[in-house]
Chains A and B, each alone.
Chain A
Amino acid sequence: MNGDHDDDDTGNTMTTTDPAQTADTVSITAPRSTGTSATRVVGVAAIVAMAWLVAFGLGFSPADRDQEEAVRILYVHVPTIWLAYLAFVVTAIASALYLFTSKQSLGWDRAAGASAEIGVVFVAVTLVVGALWGRLTWGVFWQWDARLTTTALLFVTYVGYLAVRRLGGSHRQRARRSAVLGLIAVLEIPLVHWSVRLWRSLHQEATVLDTDGDIDMDGLMLFSLFVGVIAFTLLYAWLMMHRVRAMAMEDLVEDRGLDAALAARRAEGGA
């Protein structure tokens, strides 16, 4: 019997095989879909919020004095990097919960992995959209400036984290090594955020998450940014719910293959 079977936090049923069972009686049940009524509600809310973001970002919010229409990129660029930060913090918290709780539930490991996957996608969007914004405002797509460099390093680090998760071994080996990496990698976030203060940078300093408390942003622009944060937060939640369940099913499929092989072997031994 595979020792990696786990009580699942997602509500999936995971039934392990009894040693006496044969290949024909392996009993594993799993949901046929990652969707639930909760994912449907969050999904619809995310679509509505995205429509709201399009309306405010492209329609109601004004152009900027200096950047003109290019400022509208802000409503995707900033929410995606904030959500990426959140995703990686969730990865770190879930990693800590896996490592430092007595139960060591693989559900925490899957939450960490799913969140990191979504975070990597969001950082990629931030970098691509930021390069386009840079071309329109700075005049260059890329500059080896502190903020851009540290953000690129953050992206590369978490791509590495995802690769480490797929190196093989048992679920628990995967969970242990990726949890350690997840706790180390999150330390890059303060470096990315404070890079514009630590080094002289082409990238502007923070407008909203600034320590002086002043938000130098037009009211409607700020509201549009808020809508963007809500929309991408809902998208993150929707993706998380689906991905965690999908990862549970992937683990289940792997376990079923191993259980089937062991059951077949026992059948051979008994024959």
Chain B
Amino acid sequence: MAGHDTAGNDDLDLTPRTNVDGTAVGRTPQRHWLPIVVLALVVVAGGVIVTQFLRSAVDYYCNVDEVGVRDGCDADRRIRLQGTVDEGSIDQRNGVTSFSISFNGETIPVVYDGEPGGIFKECIPVVVHGVIEQGALRGDRVEVKHSDEYVAVNDERVADAKDLGCDASGSGA
């Protein structure tokens, strides 16, 4: 292939030259397949992320006071139920944990086959995944939700002295 450069050399041969290994002369070999593979993985990962989010959203995220009131928060379907663990309600026997959760004055008992992880304890907001059967939530997953408040342990002792107790008004959950 012939061409001309900026200096006006009309007969300059512009045919690409290659090394023995097939790479262009004077040019660092570039692996263009790698970014294409990465881009394909990015598209797949994006699809998986969105799909998982949508599948997770199939289970309605309800507060205790919305059971039987809000659409989707019905007793006969799988839901995610949010409430605060009631003080003195935790009972762990034979690998089963029973407790009750409250939100805006409404309470529901929870039976969970296992020991909840994280910082599970009384007076802490939780999200329980499960189905309501015979007035109790049969949970198969308990997630502890901590509030956006950060209080030093020393301050807690002051709060204990004032006997503030549980707050299940819904503000912390």
Query: Which chain B positions have C-beta within 8 A of A164?
Result: 35, 39
Q: List 23 A-B contacts (CB under 8 A).
A: A19-B5, A63-B152, A64-B153, A137-B119, A143-B56, A144-B52, A146-B53, A156-B49, A159-B38, A163-B35, A163-B36, A163-B38, A163-B39, A164-B39, A200-B82, A207-B149, A207-B150, A218-B151, A221-B150, A254-B27, A265-B12, A265-B14, A269-B11
A103-121 vs B: 1/0 string, CB under 8 Å?
A: 0000000000000000000
A132-174 vs B: 1/0 string, CB under 8 Å?
A: 0001111110011110010011001101101111111000000
Query: Which chain B positions have C-beta within 8 A of A204?
Result: 145-148
B29-48 vs A: 1/0 string, CB under 8 Å?
A: 01010111011001101100
Contact B56 A63 (CB under 8 A): no
Most B-side CB within 10 Å, residue of A1, A220, A269, A270: A269
Query: Which chain B positions have C-beta within 8 A of A24?
Result: none
B6 at the interface (CB under 8 A from A): yes
State A167–B38 Cα separation when bound (angstroms). Answer: 10
Query: Which chain A positions have C-beta within 8 A of B57?
Result: 199
Interface contacts beyond A140-B117, A210-B148: sample of 9 additional A-B pairs, CB < 8 Å, sorted by A: A64-B152, A66-B124, A144-B52, A153-B49, A167-B36, A206-B148, A264-B26, A265-B17, A266-B7
A48 at the interface (CB under 8 A from B): no
State A71–B146 Cα separation when bound (angstroms). Answer: 11
Query: Which chain A positions have C-beta within 8 A of B117?
Result: 135, 138-140
Query: Which residue on chain A has the smallest CB distance to residue B16?
Result: A261
Query: Which chain B positions have C-beta within 8 A of A216?
Result: 147-151
Pairs A-B, 3 closest by C-beta atoms: A139-B117, A261-B26, A139-B118
Query: Which chain B positions have C-beta within 8 A of A139?
Result: 116-120, 142-144
Question: Which residues of B136-173 are within 8 A (CB) of A?
Answer: 141-156, 159
Contact B155 A65 (CB under 8 A): yes
Contact B7 A67 (CB under 8 A): no
B110 at the interface (CB under 8 A from A): no
A43 at the interface (CB under 8 A from B): no
Query: Which chain B positions have C-beta within 8 A of A31?
Result: none
State A143–B128 Cα separation when bound (angstroms). Answer: 13
B50 at the interface (CB under 8 A from A): yes
Query: Which residue on chain B has the smallest CB distance to residue A261?
Result: B26
Query: Which residue on chain B has the smallest CB distance to residue A259?
Result: B26
Contact A140 B152 (CB under 8 A): no
B106 at the interface (CB under 8 A from A): no
Contact B53 A149 (CB under 8 A): yes
Contact A167 B35, CB 8 Å, known A64-B150, A139-B116? yes
Contact B156 A65 (CB under 8 A): yes
Contact B42 A163 (CB under 8 A): yes
Contact B127 A202 (CB under 8 A): yes
A20 at the interface (CB under 8 A from B): yes
